[in-house]
Structure 1
Amino acid sequence: MTIPLKLHVGGMDCAACATKIENAMKRLPGVTDISVSYGQELLSVTLDEDRTSRAVIEGKIRALGYTPAGSDVARTPANDAQAATAPWWRSPRGRLVIGTAALLAVAYIVSHIEPSWATWAYVAATAIGLVPIGRRAIVAALSGTPFSIEMLMSVAALGAVAIGQAPEAALVIFLFSVGELLEGLASGRARAGIRALMDLVPRTARRLRGSEVETVPVEALQIGDVVLVRPGDRVPSDGDVIDGTSGVDEAPVTGESVAVLKEPGSTVYAGSIGIDGELQVKISRTTADNTIARIIHAVEEAQATKAPVARFIETFSQWYTPAAMAISLLVIVGPPLLFGADWFTWIYRGLAVLLIACPCALVISTPAAVASGLANGARRGLLMKGGAALETLSKVKTVAFDKTGTLTRGKPQITDIVCLAGDENDMLAMAAAVERGSSHPLGLAIVAEAERRGLDIPRAFGGSSVTPGKAVTARLKAGFVSVGSPRHAAGKSALTPDQADRVAALEQAGKTVVVVLQGAQALGMIALRDEPRPDARAGLEKLRSLGVRSVMLTGDNARTATSIGSLLGLDVRAELLPDAKLAAIAAYRAKGPIAMIGDGINDAPALAAASVGIAMGGGTDVALETADVALMKERIEGVAALISLSRATMSNIWQNIALALGLKAIFLVTTLVGSTPLWMAILADTGATVLVTANALRLLRYGNRRSD
């Protein structure tokens, strides 16, 4: 019977670990669709149980030195936190460090008590410490990974013993164990970003059952349940407010630092925090499908997706290790055979070269930085769906924006009220009375402004009548009042030449003008426009400071688009049909990588055509499931933050590569001239690995102390 199987595998620190497990699985009959993610510590396979049992798979994983920690079980904050807080000395690597340290100490003591036994004491310490490492090397070799770091270490240690350098062999084994332990601890830090996201969701919820309140695990919540969120409580899952009013801190989810007012009808997200009021929330998503769960899933998938530079490094390392072993062999046999040099000296130096050649630091240099960059972005509401998007963003020179709902609010706002007769508020109240009940965006904006001012909106008798394309008319206590186009007003000869010029000036500024008429008399004019987002200008300025060009691509009319473009200071291409917008993106892309920013719905073709598609949308399905990047905090400034973070990540990657290769080059030279002992050679790899990982972890704090 064929079944899907998922195993959480503890102890994976880098891509080399994942490769060993993947190669081992490929050699087992009936195991297909193999996927290994060291970032998630997850193995996924399709298993034919008639050919290979799950016990065999778990046994193979253990033989390679890793720990299968459970299967087919969803990760939860509880079990992740338990794994994260386990003390290092209880782990297999911690026990190996303690054991090798004890053996080394015993050998050292023996060498001082009875010098004649010193060599055998160190040989015994090396042999015992080498048993688990050698066993893993043999299993890896038989499973398709002959050039593992364990194999290099075993050959170097045995070679050192063979030439009478048992003390150094024992020290090498100990330092290797310490290096592996430090790598594991550093990788755990890199995974802390995901655990922090998981911890945003509370473990329990206060569910309402009639007038009773019961405390239940969040996993027990069902769609339709009503929960109580008090000040200071975290929202247990996505839902809609049905009662109460409160400010809600959404920073844990969207990165938005300002509290958002929530009232009946508002949507709240799992992990956000109530501030000053009590809310009753009707659950719309289960815990496994809420915003936090989907963000975690997206980030974990992104970490499993390799960036182009990461794929290159992995391919390079596959050739690098065999080549390094060949060079080590040449160092050992070349000088003695060709120049009659001392065999002992060059065997010793060749073994040191072998230790220096271990590829761990190089292999982990890229994925560690990418994982940290993705985790940093997720924490700040910048959700990237893979290392490829992260890498491409660092090269972007042009950013194309849709207008409506992206650069602008997506809803028209009143910009000017020109009173021609009577009181401005009275005129606005009458216009709102005519438009009340309308679904037209202009009418909704007029009613909203009247309500914002607290005006007493009169009642219309018999409702409103609509003359399509011209006006909306209603009978009020003061008589018949119309809200219509300037052309409609001109047809009634209601506008003087000066008033008509005023209308033209407003329209030239990209605004839509309506005229309020009482009978044939013009009471006033109301100008509306879909105004830019408050942060749009600052966000575009930050892009300019990064050397990135911004352009607006919109299907809106040229007059309105040009007006918005001049306000924001960016290039405009207007009146673009969908095909023309795609052609424009293709033309920009031919000159270099381009990012497209849209709302993720009607802009889907353009988002797909760009080098990187970025969806605006706080927590919506579209924002999480379309495009390559989602801005959970709906701010233009997030685009600059994305590019800044991606550039920092790529810079970190190249620093890591230079650090890994530079240290190896330095130690190679010192080894060939005879200045590097074996115990120091191992530091060229384990030390570099720890330094590279620590450097990558700096990205977790990127943006904390400076503006992006």
Structure 2
Amino acid sequence: MTDTAQTAKVRLRVEGMDCASCATKIENALHRMPGVSDVVVSVPAGTVTITHGGRAGDDSIREQISDLGYRVTAREEIGVKHPNHDQGERTSSTQDETDTHIHGNAAAGQPWWQTRKGILTIASGLALAIAYLIGKFIPATERWAFLLAMMVGLIPIARRAISAARAGTPFSIEMLMSVAAVGAVIIGATEEAATVVFLFLIGELLEGVAASRARASIQNLTKLVPKTARLEENGQVSEIQADTLAVGATIQIRPGDRIPADGVILSGESAIDEAPVTGESTPVRKGPDENLFAGTVNGDGLLRVRVTAAAADNTIARVVRLVEEAQESKAPTERFIDRFSRFYTPGVVAVAALVAVVPPLLFGGAWSAWIYKGLAILLIGCPCALVISTPAAIAASLSAGARRGLLLKGGAVLEQIGKITVACFDKTGTLTAGKPQVTDIIGFACREVDVLRFAAALESGSSHPLATAILAKANEQQISAPPTSDSKAIGGKGIRATVEGQQIFLGSPKAVAELSPLTAEQEAKIAALNDEGKTVSIVVVENEIAGAIAMRDEPRPDALKGLKLLRDGGIRTIMLTGDNRRTANAVGKQLGIDVEAELLPEDKQRIVGKLKEAGWSVAKIGDGINDAPALAAADVGIAMGGGTDVALETADAAVLHGRVSDVAAMVDLSRRTMVNIRQNIAVALGLKAVFLVTTVIDLTGLWPAILADTGATVLVTLNALRLLQTAKN
């Protein structure tokens, strides 16, 4: 019989899930539930994403997680598929794609001493201190006092161990801890057992504090968006909640206010401080028709803005969402460590058992001494630090990158970017700004200012890129365009109009040559401009050549620096463009980059494929639209954009703020992350090796063993968090 139940996919936020062993327990337990088809756990984000067929309801999932010692604090419905509906359909909800329900998520902002881990650690510490005092004053009761103190912390740990074992994780850290503590009591080391339990709880608490700090680094981005906005309706302005703003609404933003939504400026001009979002220290001057990001700060002018994205879909919200999803994607190194740990932990248990049993049986050693050593090895061998070494570093890097507009979609991408040996760039909109600019104004028969004034008059009202460049130059030089009459566009040639009683024509050199012949000197000047990759328009006044205006799509301000940083890092750079060869060579010469020009999208894909076949590791950087085939073919596809849907969703990674140097920053971040991971693995395994030797030769015991595990875990996490502070601008 066919199961007609709908398939649901939900993301739960889970309190207390702070290390890789936590993730393993939850994943194993949920996979064993009927109807659950997929479970993805992200420790850095503190989320569990479950796909189930309806038989595993929310209540039973929450109960299973609760039995393991964790608490669900929020629920987000990602999507629901119905068997009789098209796969692309989504259920309706108040946020179109997601429906979120919060369940007492107070823990997110709680100080550590108010969390469940904090309260248990404090209780265990107080019990240990009281037991110590009782033992001093009433020595006969010392053993029982320490036994009771140990039980304060051990009972919750043992309950979690038993639940994990029932749910498919017999070799959990809690189980190893419980066995070690009970074993220590049996051989008479009760005081040490109580101390070890307390130290274990301290380690767990420190893990939680470090994990919370890592999560906060990306979640703090959402706090940049103000809670209220000034809505303009029917000539009246009222203050409303920013998260209720609808797409298309008009808002007013006063000088000094933080911008509450993504939008487009309708009127006004101001310097926008984008540092909170982009890391760019210099304010950017923006005016009508230019885009604004939520969370940036309006400088000195009153702005009227049309909202272009709802609160759930503004740039910051999308970046946070995509980073959290990226944290669920494991890097190759992380997957290897996960596989290794599955064999490593049972192996440690076997070694500990052999150490405890073989010397007394075969060599006449003292049972209590060797059992003690076996229990210490059991604690030393806990794999927490090793397993968290990679995801902690990757999560910190993803968060650090997102805070400065470097969006990397998962650990695999982050790891691969550092390995690239050749970077292939598109030209227009990637190496260049994608907007032509006036570079030269030449007066032949009249002043340069009049050449620009007449050209601006003819182009007024046009949205053509070349017209926009001329009008922008006139505005920059504060030149007012005079009125025109009898304006007429001549297809493929130019535009004609009457200005101040004179017949003015603006067009290409070829079209102008039909009206009035160019002198040899004028032709030479125009040819020289063309050789520099510039487009030339000629202004003709009453059939006399008055002057010329040259325009070019100029390289981005940081393009030269960005390409040099890549070359300094040992990465070859190539321009792949569909533009004409003369223009491409001019830009390539200016930037010092190899050029392949006049390419179709399939040509770019073919070149990327050939580079890969030759043994290069290829990154393709483009605008995410016409470069799609090459982006997909490359080892890493990087979209260059300003926070658009295409830039965020097309490629493996995205440079949200259009800086060429950010590609080099991605490579640098990847390489520093891999160094950090290697350091973490060395710390995790090195400390264990040292304490393993010192335990066998009787230099250290149980409590140093637990410090070896929890201490290594904390050191690894803190080392990973350094990546949050060292992202280069």
TM-score band w.r.t. shorter chain:
over 0.9
The 3 A distance-change label for structure 1 pair 205 and 431 is closer
Match of 1:249 in 2: 273
Which deviations, in whole Å up to 9, do the C-alpha atoms of 1:653-688 show, x marking residues without a partner?
A: 111111101111111111111111111011110000
Query: How far apart are the structure 2 equivalents of 1:575 and 1:568?
Result: 18
Following superposition of structure 1 onto structure 2, how do residues 37-436 of structure 1 map, counting pairs within 5 Å? Answer: 37-47=42-52, 51-72=55-76, 82-436=106-460
Query: How far apart are the structure 2 equivalents of 1:258 and 1:198?
Result: 22
- Say which of 537, 554, 561 aligns to 1:531: 554
Match of 1:455 in 2: 479
Match of 2:39 in 1: 34
- Say which of 553, 558, 580 aligns to 2:576: 553
**Residue 521 (structure 2) pairs with residue 498 (structure 1):** yes
In structure 1, the residue corresponding to 2:257 is in which secondary structure? Answer: coil
Match of 1:441 in 2: 465
Which deviations, in whole Å up to 9, do the C-alpha atoms of 1:587-616 show, x marking residues without a partner?
A: 223323221111122222222221111112
Residue 332 of structure 1, CA deviation: 1.6
Asked whether the 8 Å contact 1:104–1:122 carries over to 2, the reply is yes
Identical positions, percent: 53
Residue 226 of structure 1, CA deviation: 2.8
Match of 2:29 in 1: 24
Cα-Cα RMSD: 2.4
**Residue 606 (structure 2) pairs with residue 583 (structure 1):** yes
Residue 130 of structure 1, CA deviation: 1.5
Residue 456 of structure 1, CA deviation: 4.5
Query: How far apart are the structure 2 equivalents of 1:520 and 1:211?
Result: 50
The one-letter amino acid paired with 2:187 is I
The 3 A distance-change label for structure 1 pair 484 and 80 is farther
Asked whether the 8 Å contact 1:417–1:525 carries over to 2, the reply is yes
* Count of aligned pairs: 703
Match of 2:538 in 1: 515
Query: How far apart are the structure 1 equivalents of 2:557 and 2:676?
Result: 33
Query: How far apart are the structure 1 equivalents of 2:406 and 2:103?
Result: 26
In structure 2, the residue corresponding to 1:411 is in which secondary structure? Answer: strand
Residue 134 of structure 1, CA deviation: 0.9
The one-letter amino acid paired with 2:570 is G
Query: How far apart are the structure 1 equivalents of 2:649 and 2:363?
Result: 65
- Say which of 7, 15, 28 aligns to 1:10: 15
Asked whether the 8 Å contact 1:515–1:525 carries over to 2, the reply is yes
In structure 2, the residue corresponding to 1:421 is in which secondary structure? Answer: coil
Residue 347 of structure 1, CA deviation: 1.4
The 3 A distance-change label for structure 1 pair 149 and 467 is closer
Asked whether the 8 Å contact 1:255–1:633 carries over to 2, the reply is no
The one-letter amino acid paired with 2:141 is W
Asked whether the 8 Å contact 1:80–1:195 carries over to 2, the reply is no
Query: How far apart are the structure 1 equivalents of 2:102 and 2:64?
Result: 28
The 3 A distance-change label for structure 1 pair 114 and 441 is closer
Scaled by the length of structure 1, the TM-score of the pair is: 0.94
The 3 A distance-change label for structure 1 pair 78 and 275 is farther
The one-letter amino acid paired with 2:351 is I
Residue 489 of structure 1, CA deviation: 4.3
Asked whether the 8 Å contact 2:496–2:504 carries over to 1, the reply is yes
Query: How far apart are the structure 1 equivalents of 2:227 and 2:167?
Result: 42
- Say which of 692, 699, 704 aligns to 1:668: 692
The 3 A distance-change label for structure 1 pair 45 and 489 is closer
Query: How far apart are the structure 1 equivalents of 2:275 and 2:671?
Result: 24
The one-letter amino acid paired with 1:57 is I
The 3 A distance-change label for structure 1 pair 422 and 275 is closer
Query: How far apart are the structure 1 equivalents of 2:393 and 2:104?
Result: 22
The one-letter amino acid paired with 1:404 is T
Match of 2:509 in 1: 486
Query: How far apart are the structure 1 equivalents of 2:571 and 2:145?
Result: 65
Residue 62 of structure 1, CA deviation: 1.8
Residue 431 of structure 1, CA deviation: 3.1
Match of 2:80 in 1: none
Following superposition of structure 1 onto structure 2, how do residues 606-685 of structure 1 map, counting pairs within 5 Å? Answer: 606-685=630-709
Residue 579 of structure 1, CA deviation: 1.6
The 3 A distance-change label for structure 1 pair 208 and 162 is same
Question: Unpaired runs of 5+ in structure 1?
Answer: none
Scaled by the length of structure 2, the TM-score of the pair is: 0.91
Residue 526 of structure 1, CA deviation: 2.6
The 3 A distance-change label for structure 1 pair 514 and 192 is same
Question: Unpaired runs of 5+ in structure 2?
Answer: 78-97
Asked whether the 8 Å contact 2:376–2:701 carries over to 1, the reply is yes
The 3 A distance-change label for structure 1 pair 216 and 489 is closer
Residue 435 of structure 1, CA deviation: 3.8
Query: How far apart are the structure 2 equivalents of 1:489 and 1:232?
Result: 50
The 3 A distance-change label for structure 1 pair 81 and 647 is farther
Query: How far apart are the structure 1 equivalents of 2:415 and 2:116?
Result: 35
Which deviations, in whole Å up to 9, do the C-alpha atoms of 1:396-436 show, x marking residues without a partner?
A: 12111100111112122222233222322223323333444
Query: How far apart are the structure 2 equivalents of 1:132 and 1:232?
Result: 51
Q: Which runs of 4+ in 1 moved over 6 A?
A: 73-81
User: Could you tell which deviates more after superposition, 314-323 or 196-205?
Assistant: 196-205
The 3 A distance-change label for structure 1 pair 455 and 651 is same
Match of 1:686 in 2: 710
Query: How far apart are the structure 2 equivalents of 1:647 and 1:80?
Result: 40
